[in-house]
Structures are given as C-alpha cells and as structure tokens.
Structure 1
Amino acid sequence: MDIVFGIIAIIVVLGLAYLLSNNRKIINYRGIGVMILAQLLTTWFMFATTIGQSIINGISAVFNKLIEFGTAGVDFILGGVLHGDGGVFFFDVLLLIIFFATILSVLTYLKILPLIIKYIGGIISKITGLPKVESFNAVNSIFFGQSEALIAIRSQFHHLTANRLYIVSASAMGSVSASIVGAYMQMLPPKYVLVALPLNMFSALIVASIIAPVKVPKEEDKVDITNVSNEKSVFEAMGNGALEGGKIALIVGTMLVAFIASLELVNWVIQAVFAGVTLQQILGYILYPLGFLMGIPTSEILTAGGIMGTKIVTNEFVAMLEFQTLLGQVSEKTTGIVTVFLTSFANFSSIGIIAGTVQGIDREKGGEVSRFGLKLLLGATLASILSATIAGLFI
C-alpha cells in the first residue's frame, strides 16, 4: 500500500508542477521520464544492492576521514578548551566547513572538479535532452553553494531566458553544497544524506523543466569552464577556500542564532493565544496530507510535518537540529524520508541569496528572479517532496 500512496504522491507533485507550468506545449516528457527512472534505479541500487551499500559506506568513510583531518585543525585552534560531553555545535560541526571548502577550492583550481562536472552534465544533457548549461549547473550545485554554482555560469547569463533562469535557480535552491555535507552527516544518517544528493539534483530538474520548459538553440548552449577559478596558485586557492569556508560557517551560525531565537519568539506568541500550540504543530497539520502520501507512518506525520515545515520557513540546519533529537524515537522510514527532504536549500532565505547573486551578475535578471521568487520556492519544495517520496519507496 505504501508503494501505491508513493506513486500517488509522485503524480500529485508532477500534477502541481504541471498546473504551474509557463508553457505546457513544450514540456520535455521524455527527459522527465528518463530522470524519474534514473532516480528509481539510483535509489534501488544504493539501498537494495550490496554494491550500492558498499559505495555508500565507502563515501561515508571518506567523509569521516576528512572530518577527522578537519577536527585536527579545529582542536589545534581550541587548544584544549573544554566544551562538555555534548560538544559545541559551532566547534564540532560548523568549523569543519572551512576544511571542506578548502578542498573544493583546490580541486576547482586544479580543474579536476570542473572537468568532472562538465562531463557528467554533458551525459545528463545527452540522455535527457535538457540544455547543457542547465545540466552542468545542476551537477555543479551538488558541489558548490547557491552563489558559487550560479557564478560558475555567469558567462552564459546573456543567453538565459526567464525560463532558463528559473531552471538554474531551482537547481541551486534544490541542492546543497558539498562543503556542508560533512556537517549534515554529523547530525543525520549519512546514507540518507548521500542518497539525497543525486535525488535532489534530478528532482530539481524534473520539477523546473515542467514549470519552466525550454528549447535552446545549439549555438546558445555551451559550457565554458576556463575561468571557473581566479587563483594563481594552489596556496592561493587554499587560502581563499579557507576564508570562504569561514564565512559560510559564520553565516550559518549567525542565521541559526536568528532563526532559532525567532522560532522561540513565534512559539511564545502563538502559545499566548493558543495554549500548548506551536508553529511546528501547525505546519505538521498543513503538511499532513503530503506526509501521509509520502509514506510516513500515521503516528509520526505531525512530528515529521512540523520538522519539514520548520525547514521551509527557517533553514535546513534549524530543522536538522530539531530532528536530530528525535532519531531513535521515530521509525527508519520517517528518518529516511525526512532526512532526504531536509537535504536541500529550499527555504525562504534562499530566495534572497539567489536573487542577490543573480543581481550581482546581471541587474535585470536579478529582478526577474525576485519576481518569480515564491514560485521558485514552491518548485524547490515540490522537488524535495519528490526526492523524499522516491527514497521512501525503498525504505
């Protein structure tokens, strides 16, 4: 029965995207079908086969080793500062972003990552019929943050129509940066975080391709990776990567202070009017129908819905910290579905980040992103629901 409800949830997501479509006549149904099939095969392979599980364990081991290296750097700075058995989130999680950002910066300088991303994007473009720029950006968004992914295709911005701009923005919002994946894996089960990466990449493309379908002339569809890094040496790349990682850690920490405090304030106001009611409970009721279709056990839907709603109105870190306290109290199915849903940048604050980045590249196109900002968030949220539902089919 869960499979039947899961299929219904997928149809509902695709149906809502269809209703939001700007041009239903040119939707690439073949490409969408290929990507859904790719999601199903990827999830089945990762969850149901020995090889897939070995790959997940191998990638997790690599991340764990990198976390060990990063922790050595953090411990050196702390110099033996005692911070309790439970640790300090900023020290134990956020500061590790600096090391991961450094690695990404070096791999970008050496042209290793851009080359890999270009060819994976090219393969996706070839088998789905999607434009190369959009495919490259979708893969790029798995490794880099929203701003960095969009900046990487700045040379192609003069070719981007409103629909193409929607697709690249949706990919940036629907994915996460590899520099903070290590942080996610310290809070939630690594296997679900890792599976969420390819699922969300495809989901963002699927939903965005329905909402904003495009047909692109070949002469306007070229990917240029020659100027993806401005660093002159590997040491400059390391330094800039570290500074960028530090900035991300501080931004995330600052946003957590603001959002968690604001959430407490909102709950205090709500409870002053409705005793015992919280924003999370309200969001849980709103998302209850979708949670049911996604396959979350009935007794856990309100709790899971509240966590997912919290992510939309605040950010994924706030929601992950809340959900982390529930691990072991909820079923494995709920754990997997919610983890996959949370592993994306689909939230209100991302609208401003993406619009600001695009405006810095092209002022006119930045205004276009601001105009379809809410539609962008809705599409990215539908993409997260699609990914979580597909994951739930195999848990």
Structure 2
Amino acid sequence: MGILLGLLAIIIALAIAYAMSNDRKNVNFTGVGIMLLAQVLTTWFMFMTPIGEAIINFISDVFNKLIEFGSEGVAFVLGGLTVEENASVFFFNVLLIIIFFSTILSVLTYLKVLPFIIKYIGWGISKITGLPKVESFNAVNSMFFGQSEAIIAIKSQFRHLNNNRLYIVSASAMGSVSASIIGAYIQMLPAQYVLVAIPLNMFSSLIIASIIAPVNVPKEDDEVDVKNVSDANSFFEAMGNGALDGGKIALIVASMLIAFIASLELVNWVISSIFAGTTLQEILGYVLAPIGFLMGIAPGELIQAGGIMGTKIITNEFVAMIELESVMGEFSDKTVGVVSVFLTSFANFSSIGIIAGTVQGIDSEKGASVSKFGMKLLIGATLGSILSATMAGLFL
C-alpha cells in the first residue's frame, strides 16, 4: 500500500509540473524516464545493498572525521569560552564547522579535482538523458557549491541561455545544497538521509525543471568552459579564500536564523492571540498533510511533520532542521527519513532573492526574468523536494 501511495505522490508531482509547463509538446519524456530510473537505482543501491550501505557509512565517517578536525580549529579559537556542561551552542558546534568545509572545497577546486569530476559527470548525464551540457554540468556543480557559486561558474555561457534554460539552471541551484554545509546538516540529521538526498535532488531538479521548461539546444550553443573556475593563484590563497567564504556563510546563516526564528515566534504569538493555541506550523501541517501522507509519513505524525516541512519553505532548511532535531525521537524511522530528505535543499522563499540577485549581477536583463518566474521556481523546487523525499520513502 505504501508503494502505491508513493507512486501516486510521484505522479501528482510530475502532473503539477506538466500543468505548469511552458511547452508541453517538447517535454523530453525519455530523459525524464531515464532520470526517474536513475533515482530508483540510486536509492535502492544506497539503502538496500550492503555495498551501498558501506559507501554511505564510509562517506559519513569521512565527514565525521572532518568535523572533528574542524572542531579542533574552533576549539583553538574559542577554547577560553566556557559553556554550561552538556549545553550545545549552535553557532560554535555547527555553523563554524562550515569554515573548514569551505576551505577544503576551495582547495579541491584550485587543484582542479572538483572541476574534473563535475565536468565529466555532467557530460555523462547529458549523454544519457539528452539534456544540454550546460544544464547537466550546472546540476552536478550545484551538488558541491552554493546557489550563487554554482550560477557564477557558468556565467560565460549566460549569453546562450533563454528563459527556459535559465529556469533549469536556477532550479538546479535552488533544489540543491552546498557541500560546504553538509557537515552542519549531518550534525542535526541522520547522515544517510542527507547523503542520499544529494544525488536524488540533482535528478529531481532536472526532472521537474525539464518538464516545466523544456529545451532544445543547438550543438554550437552547448559547450561548458571550466578552465578558470578558481580565482586563487596559489594553494594557500585558495585556503584563505575558502576560509573567508566559509566565515561569510556561517555569519549569513546565523543572521538568517536569528531573523527567521524570531519572526516565526512573532507570527505564532499573533496567530495564537487570535486563534488560541494555534501556531503557523500547525496550519502548514494541515496544508501539507495530504501530500505528506502520500509521501509515506505515518498518519499520527502528519501534522507535526507537515509543519516542519512548511517551516522550511517559508523560512529555510536550518530552522526546519532544528525543529526536526528536537522531535526526532517522537517520529518513526520512515518519517524521519522522508522529512530529512525533504529538508535537504535550498527550496525556500529566501532562495528566490539569492538566485535573482546573483543572476542580476551577471546579466541585469536575465536577473529580471528570474524575478518574474520566482514563484514558479519555488513551486518547482518544492515539487523536486517532494519527489526526492517520496523516492527515499519507497525504500524505507
């Protein structure tokens, strides 16, 4: 029964995307089918096979070891700061680790390790699915870098991007997560769900976006240039740039958390004053309960889980992850898995401004186009999150 409900959720997500399509006649259904199959195989392999589980455990161990290294750096700088025993300071224990992960990414980019991996995985996806190289490259690139960085990496190809191609590029950026903050995520959520969400989201973003905005690109306009992806002139400059970028990200996330959590409390105070005891999370829970049920969330957990998913859409994934972390013991394993995968993406209102602002800095005309289809972008990215979470739920 659960599998049938999950398949229905996938069909509904695809149907909504098709209803929103700019050009239904030219949807690449073959590519969509191939990517759906790739999602099924990826999830089955990672969740249901000993080799897949071993790979997840290995990657998780690597991230945990990196977190230990990062914690040493944080402890050196903040070693004199005393905190109550067993207390957890989110900024120190989670956000500052981003600095170390950002440094590693910057060094791997300078050494041309990541560009090589990204280019040829993107090339393979393009060959298999028939999607253009730029869009395929950007989807893979978005698994490693943040929304702004992923878009900036293809700025030399912007002159070739019409509105449909621009939508796909933006959707991949919004539907992904940055590798620099994965370390922060797996300190709050089970690592296996965060790690499986990364490839699932890449395919989901391409599936939904290629239905909403089908493309047909001439070969001469379909080239990817990754020769100069790093601004650093030396290994140590790359380390310094990565550390500074990580520090900025940590401060930005901390500022957004303060603003969003405080605003959420204000909204809840207003709502509870009008409707005694009601919160925004409960309202969102009722709104998302039907699709949550189809995704595989247990009936008794629908309202609370739906509220957490809704919180992510209107604020950001960190706010929602903090909420999920605090109630994880009350949920079944399947609900934790489904909701964790749903939360592991940048699909929220604030991302519209981030992506539009980044594109505006590259090309003002295309930036205006992104602003115009901003809500369509958010709906598409949310459908991608539903697709990824449902796919994971089929194997939990």
Equivalent runs, 1:260-275 vs 2, <5 Å = 260-275=261-276
- Which residue identity does 1:46 align to in structure 2? M
Q: What does 1:6-85 correspond to in 2, within 5 Å?
A: 6-84=6-84, 85=86
Q: How does 1:294-373 map to 2 (within 5 A)?
A: 294-373=295-374
User: What is the CA-CA distance between 1:369 and the residue it aligns to?
Assistant: 0.1
**Which structure 1 residue ranges, 5 or more long, are not aligned?**
none
SS at match of 1:6: helix
- Map 1:160-175 → 2, pairs under 5 A: 160-175=161-176
* Structure 1 residues 306-328: Cα deviation after superposition (integer angstroms, max 9, x where no partner): 00000000000000000001112
Between the aligned partners of 2:166 and 2:288, the Cα distance in structure 1 is 29
Structure 2, unmatched stretches of 5+, are none
User: d(CA) in 2 for partners of 1:4 and 1:82?
Assistant: 53
Aligned to 1:200: 201
User: What secondary structure, in the 3-state scheme, does the structure 2 residue paired with 1:143 have?
Assistant: coil
- Displacement of 1:86 after TM fit? 2.3
What is the correspondence of 1:186-265 to structure 2 with a 5 Å cutoff? 186-265=187-266
C-alpha distance in 2 between matches for 1:79 and 1:170: 41
Name the CA distance, whole Å, in 2 between partners of 1:206 and 1:143.
19
SS of 2:227's equivalent in the other structure is: coil
Match of residue 389 from structure 2: 388
Question: Following the alignment from structure 2 to structure 1, what is the Cα–Cα distance between the partners of residues 174 and 376?
Answer: 12
Instruction: Give, in angstroms, the shift of residue 334 of structure 1.
Output: 0.3
- Displacement of 1:87 after TM fit? 1.8
Equivalent residue of 2:328, what SS? coil
TM-score relative to the length of structure 2: 0.99
Q: What's the secondary structure of 2:156's corresponding residue?
A: helix
- Cα distance in 2 between the residues matched to 1:219 and 1:86: 58
Please tell me the residue identity of whatever aligns with 1:143.
Answer: F
Q: Following the alignment from structure 2 to structure 1, what is the Cα–Cα distance between the partners of residues 71 and 119? A: 32
Per the alignment, residue 107 of structure 1 pairs with: 108
One-letter identity of the residue aligned with 1:321: I
Note the C-alpha offset of 1:5.
0.3
Counterpart code for 2:303: L
Counterparts of 2:329 and 2:347, CA distance in 1? 26
Distance (whole Å) between structure 2 residues aligned to residue 363 and residue 394 of structure 1: 44
Q: Map Cα deviations across residues 225-267 of structure 1 (whole Å, 9 max, x no partner).
A: 0111111101111001100000000000000000000000000
The alignment partner of 2:331 has SS state of coil
Aligned mates of 1:143, 1:379 — CA distance in 2:
21
* TM-score between the two structures when normalised by the length of structure 1: 1.00
Cα displacement string for residues 8-40 of structure 1 (whole angstroms, at most 9, x for unaligned residues): 000000000000000011100000000000000
* CA drift at 1:386: 0.3
Deviations 1:140-166 (A, max 9, x none): 000000000000000000000000000
5 Å-filtered alignment, 1:116-195, equals 116-195=117-196
- Identity in percent: 73
- Aligned partners of 2:226, 2:126: CA distance in 1, in Å? 16
| Aligned residue identity for 1:243 | L
SS at match of 1:335: helix
Deviation (angstroms), 1:80 = 3.4
1:92-148 Cα distance to aligned partner (Å, 9 max, x none): 000000000000001111111001000000000000000000000000000000000
Letter in 1 for 2:284: L
Output the CA distance in 2 between the equivalents of 1:227 and 1:376. Answer: 29
